[in-house]
Each structure stands twice: as C-alpha cells, then as structure tokens.
Amino acid sequence: MQLPINQEYQQRVATKSAELTVLNKKINAVSLFRLFVIVGGAILIFQCFRTEIVWLSLVSVLFVLLVFMGLVSKQSKLERIKKAAEDERWVNQNELDIWAGKPNGYADGAEFFDSKHPYTSDLDVFGEASLYALINRCSTPEAIVRLAGWLDKAADPSTIAERQEAIKELAAKLNWTQRVQAGLLFNRQEKINYERRFATYLNSPLLNFAGKALRLYVKVGPWLLLLAIGLSFFIKPFTGIAVVIGLIHLLMTIGYAGTVTRVSAGIDKMSNVLAAFAAVFKQVETEDWQSALNKRLALQLYFEGKQPVSAAIKDLSDIISRLEYRNNMLIGGLYNIFLLWDFRQVFAVLAWRRDHQGHVLGAFDAISHFEALISLAALHRNHPDWSLPEISNSGQRSLVAIDLKHPLIPALQSVANTYRMENHRIALITGSNMAGKSTFLRTVGSNMVLAFAGAPVCAAHMLVSVVHLVTYMRIRDSLHESTSTFKAELDRMQMILQSVECDKEAFFLLDEMLRGTNSVDKYRGSKAVIQKLIADQGTGIVATHDLQLAKLAEENPGIVQNFHFDIQVHEGEMLFDYKIKDGECTIFNASMLLRQIGVIIEE
C-alpha cells in the first residue's frame, strides 16, 4: 500500500538519518585506524631500519604507505556516500518543510520580480510566498531561469501537452527525481553558473601547445629516466645521468607552468563538479523513458545518438583531477620528474576538447530542462487532488473551472468556486468588502499561469484556452519615478487597453479601477474603460464596488454578465462564505466594518 506523500517523505528522512548515523560511526572508526597506522607504522619502520636490512626497510615503508593510502581512499568513499545521504535527506526534509508551510529551501525567484510585467507582480508569481517559491526545485542557474520563463510567458498548446505528459511520468519516479535533485544540490549552495563557465572554456581558442618533438619526448622521457635508474644499479655513471634527466624534467615543468595554467584556466578545480554532472547525466541516460519530451531530452545526452555524454564528462573530470596534482608541490614535483605529468594531462585535455568540444553543452541544457520539469512534477505529486488542465483547441475562448482554489492558500483555509465563461465575454463581479472578489481574480489568474506552464492547477477540473494574461490589481505610486497613484493607474490601464486592442488573445483581470480619483470620475472612467473593452472584443473579468456598472450587463446581453460575492448578517455579525454567485450584489458592509473600528455613519 502506497503511503501518503508526506508520510513517504518522513520515512525517507528517518531512513537517511539512520544511514548517516552508521556512516558517521564508520568514518570515525577509519579515522582512528588511520591514526593507529601512523603511530604503529612509524614504530614498525623504525624497527625495520634498526635491522639494517635494506629490502625489509623498503618493504615496511611501502606496506605502511599502501595501508595508509587505502584508508584514505576508504574514508574519501565514505565521505562521498555521507554527502549523498545528507543531500537526499535535505531534499526530503525540504518537502516536509514546504508541506508544513515553511519557506522552500530553493530560490524563490525574487530576482525575476517586475512590477511592469503584464501579470507576474499582481499574481504573486515571483518572490517570497509566491508560485515560484512553491514550485521551484531547481539548483542550476540555467534551470532557475528556464522555470521563471515558463511562468512569465504562456506556452503553446502542444508544448503544454508535452510537459503534462512528461511531468506525469516524472511524478511517478520519486527515487529518480530525488537522486537528480540531490546530485545537483551543490549548485544551489554555490550559485555558480558552471554551464556558462564551461561553455566559455570550450569556446575559447585552442592553444597550440608544444610541437612534435616535445610530444615525442613526453612519451619516451619517463622511459629514459626509468632505464637510467635501472642501469645505475649496475653502472655507476648512470646515477648522474638519471639525476640530470630528472632535473631536465623538473625544469621543463617549471618552464611550461604558465602555459599549463592557461590551458587549464576556466576548468581548474572543477573535477568534482564535472564528476557530479556526469553522475546526473548518467541517471538520465540509463532511465527508461516513455513520454516524448523526456525521450527527446535524454537523446541530447548522447553523441550522434550513440556515445553517452556522461562518459566523456567523467573522462574530463578524471583528467582535471590528475592535473590538479600539480597544486601539491611534493606530489606534483615527483610526478613531473618521473612521468612529465603536467604535459601528459594537458595533452589529454587538448585531445578531449578536439573530440568533444561541439557536443557536450546540449547535455547541460537538457538537465536544466529536466530540473524545471521535476519542479512541476513535485507539484503534481504533492497535490494529488489537483488536476492537469485541459487545453482547449476549439478556436473559441474557453474557461471552465470546477472547484477552483487559490494555489497559495492552505487547503484547509481555501474555498472552492466554480466558474464557467458561457454566454458572455466579460464577467462583471460586484460585492461586499472583504467578500472575496480580489482573491477570486487572483485565483483565476494564478491557475491560468500554472496551466500555461504545463503544471497542474488547484481545481477538480479546468478547461482553458491559451491566452495572454494582463492584470490590473496592485497599483502603486513610485517616489523613484515621481509617479502618483492615479498616474500609475493610468499607465497600467493604457497597457491593458493597448494589449486588448492589439492582441486578440489577451485576457484581462481588472480589480477596482481608478481608485486614485473621486467617486464620480471613478464610475464614469470605469464605465468608459469597460465599454472600450467591449468594443475591442475583449475578454476577461472585472471586479468593482460600483453597483451602477452592473447595468452594463443589461445593455450588452451575451457579452457582459453579472456575478457577485456577498455576506450574510446574523444577529449583527457578518458571515462570509466567499462563494461566487450569479447576478449583482445587493448586500453591502462598509458601514458595519466602519462601526467595528468606532466610526458611525449617520443614516
């Protein structure tokens, strides 16, 4: 029996915590054993040297060194496993935090906030407690930008359908999606655009490093040194020759150090990062995909549809890791004296670039796409009562929403409403103060944003045409721009009217127009605006306190239809049901609300 998703997350947190307890004990045991090997090994080597038996002394040193290196390798492996377990635990704990109403640990998209955008600022799309903050599970900068783009611009119907199919498949792959999230979590913390950095490196000119003679010597030089060392045991002059060859190798390394640095610039210290990306690439490559979009993205991780990118990136990671030995003066010096190490790794880097330069960046693009889809899939998985909307292709403007709720209001506090745009193009909503008009407009708009991104909506069912949203809700003055509230309203209204006039796909949501002027001009101006929207064949929803505007429904049958939110008064107490109803509002509550704060209005 499948657990409810929040219980599944709790169980996974508990499992990973137990794993980490065991891992910490193992790591501590290995650390203690390393200390024992250092102390015990020193005693062993000392005793062997006292025997003055050369071969025994050398064997003891080699034995202690091998045991110590084995323990270092073992601890490094345990540390990697521990880091992976910590990341997976964080991913699950973050889901529990979101479930409990705490902030999402991923970015909230505040950098994308734009007060002049047609709808994102009015509908809480970006920033704290926003749609983006609810949805985002992206770590890489590319994915963060991609997901934002999906929310601030409607996709076409075929793209929406592809995304819906993809997120249904991903939502069922909890283990896989969490491994990918955990594998990329390092980028959430570091906030470095590794794809751009890597692309800059790959697109930089290839250095013409070394001629044929040097390349040939790099191949034979270490063998010459080995031969000289071997012969020195039998022919004494070869000892000096071996020393000279070693010094030549060291001087060559020093002489070419600047060139080696230029070759590695841009990817130095990236071996662990590339290894992490390679592991994520492999997760995609080895998964069985059914949806068309996921299959197409997975193909971007193969060269010409055959060789996996993960193997190539892992090869480069290993080369860089070996090149980083040069950062340790002792190890780097010995490796370069005996093996001309830096030269070999630089040649390997240049060969890798020639073979793969134009083929790997598509893999990073595919991963950012998967991250954005995983974000939508998490929303689908976490809210099984939400539905994937049906996108209308009838050519007629459609909007049917059954049991529609605001996606950012907790389920126990939200009220479901059903709305059908039938026999009208403009819904005119009147109503009492605080009865739910503004929230309803944001509910419709927020769910449209989700629908047009390919995400599930907070409704039992939704049928909607792809439209271009424009909103008029939160109008602010601006000291910085020397703009009054009324001027800001006029600027916003001009944008709305131009959008409706020029774009037949525009859909407006207008909440209480022209608040910054007197009541007479407010009514006359609002009426004129609605009449222009009617004349321009506009479609949308208008919320207002001006009851006189309700007469527009009588004057424009089949175009404007009245709806309202009201209150019930029981024993002097106001009761709100936040339900949309047909017709104009007949119950108002401003006097009662003012009376509650000590202001009495004369009858």
Report the CATH number at residue 548. Answer: 3.40.50.300
Q: Are residues 314 and 405 in the same domain?
A: no
CA 178 from chain centre, in angstroms, equals: 13
What values do phi and psi take at 492, rounded to 5?
Answer: -65, -40
Q: What is the model's pLDDT at position 582?
A: 92
pLDDT tens digits along 389-409: 999 987 788 999 999 999 999
The domain tally of the chain equals 3
> Which pLDDT band, with edges at 50, 70 and 90, does 333 fall under?
confident
**Of the candidates 39, 64, 98, which is a domain's last residue?**
98
- In this predicted structure, the answer to whether residue 470 has a pLDDT above a threshold of 70 is yes
Element (H, E) at 70: helix 54-99
Let me know the angle formed at the C-alpha of 169 by 166 and 170, rounded to the nearest 5 degrees: 85
- pLDDT averaged over every residue in the chain: 88
Q: Are residues 558 and 443 in the same domain?
A: yes
Decide if 144 is inside a domain: no
Q: What is the model's pLDDT at position 210?
A: 63
Distance CA(389)–CA(461), nearest Å, equals 6
> 68 Cβ partners below 8 Å, 6+ apart?
34, 37, 38, 41
> Which pLDDT band, with edges at 50, 70 and 90, does 3 fall under?
low
- In this predicted structure, the answer to whether residue 488 has a pLDDT above a threshold of 90 is no
Q: Are residues 336 and 410 in the same domain?
A: no
Decide if 229 is inside a domain: yes
Q: What is the model's pLDDT at position 1?
A: 45
Distance CA(254)–CA(333), nearest Å, equals 10
104 within 8 A of 134, measured Cβ to Cβ: yes
324 within 8 A of 271, measured Cβ to Cβ: yes
Least confident of 27-41, 265-279, 368-382: 265-279
- In this predicted structure, the answer to whether residue 595 has a pLDDT above a threshold of 70 is no
Q: Are residues 221 and 81 in the same domain?
A: no
Please, what's the b/e burial string for 277-307 (b: 16 or more CB within 10 A of its CB; e: otherwise)? Answer: bbbbbbbbbeeebebebbeebbebbbbeeee
- In this predicted structure, the answer to whether residue 599 has a pLDDT above a threshold of 80 is no
Decide if 184 is inside a domain: no
> Quick one: what percent of the chain has pLDDT higher than 70?
92
257 within 8 A of 188, measured Cβ to Cβ: no
> Which pLDDT band, with edges at 50, 70 and 90, does 236 fall under?
confident
Least confident of 82-96, 343-357, 525-539, 577-591: 577-591
End-to-end CA distance of the chain: 64
Could you list the residue range(s) of the whole structural domain that residue 87 is in?
A: 1-98
What values do phi and psi take at 229, rounded to 5?
Answer: -65, -45
Decide if 409 is inside a domain: yes
For residue 447, give the DSSP letter. H
pTM equals: 0.88
> Which pLDDT band, with edges at 50, 70 and 90, does 173 fall under?
very high
- In this predicted structure, the answer to whether residue 484 has a pLDDT above a threshold of 80 is no
- In this predicted structure, the answer to whether residue 292 has a pLDDT above a threshold of 60 is yes
Least confident of 7-16, 181-190, 227-236, 453-462: 227-236
From the CB of residue 7, how many other CB atoms can be counted at a distance below 10 Å?
11
From the CB of residue 28, how many other CB atoms can be counted at a distance below 10 Å?
11
Please, what's the b/e burial string for 64-79 (b: 16 or more CB within 10 A of its CB; e: otherwise)? Answer: beeeeeebeeebeebe
Distance CA(576)–CA(435), nearest Å, equals 6
> Which pLDDT band, with edges at 50, 70 and 90, does 601 fall under?
low
Element (H, E) at 245: helix 237-255
109 backbone φψ class: left, alpha, beta (φ>0; ψ -120 to 50): left
Interval 302-329 mean pLDDT: 84
Q: At what angle are helices 174-183 and 361-382 packed, to 10 degrees?
A: 130
Decide if 603 is inside a domain: no
Q: At what angle are helices 309-323 and 271-285 packed, to 10 degrees?
A: 160
- In this predicted structure, the answer to whether residue 440 has a pLDDT above a threshold of 80 is yes
Q: Are residues 326 and 439 in the same domain?
A: no
Q: Are residues 444 and 571 in the same domain?
A: yes
Q: What is the model's pLDDT at position 591?
A: 53
Distance CA(426)–CA(508), nearest Å, equals 9
From the CB of residue 203, how many other CB atoms can be counted at a distance below 10 Å?
10
Q: Are residues 220 and 92 in the same domain?
A: no
Distance CA(149)–CA(327), nearest Å, equals 41
Q: Are residues 497 and 417 in the same domain?
A: yes
Element (H, E) at 369: helix 361-382
Decide if 371 is inside a domain: no
Q: Are residues 349 and 414 in the same domain?
A: no
Interval 204-212 mean pLDDT: 69
Q: What is the model's pLDDT at position 335?
A: 83
Let me know the angle formed at the C-alpha of 387 by 383 and 389, rounded to the nearest 5 degrees: 140
How far is CA 238 from each of CA 246, 248, 336, 340, rounded to the nearest angstrom? 12, 15, 20, 20
Decide if 25 is inside a domain: yes
Interval 209-234 mean pLDDT: 83
Distance CA(109)–CA(132), nearest Å, equals 6
Q: Are residues 347 and 477 in the same domain?
A: no
Q: What is the model's pLDDT at position 479?
A: 44
Q: Are residues 444 and 545 in the same domain?
A: yes
- In this predicted structure, the answer to whether residue 594 has a pLDDT above a threshold of 50 is no
> 590 Cβ partners below 8 Å, 6+ apart?
433
Identity of the residue numbered 510: L
**Of the candidates 98, 114, 139, which is a domain's last residue?**
98
Q: Are residues 356 and 395 in the same domain?
A: no
Decide if 549 is inside a domain: yes
**Of the candidates 64, 98, 132, which is a domain's last residue?**
98
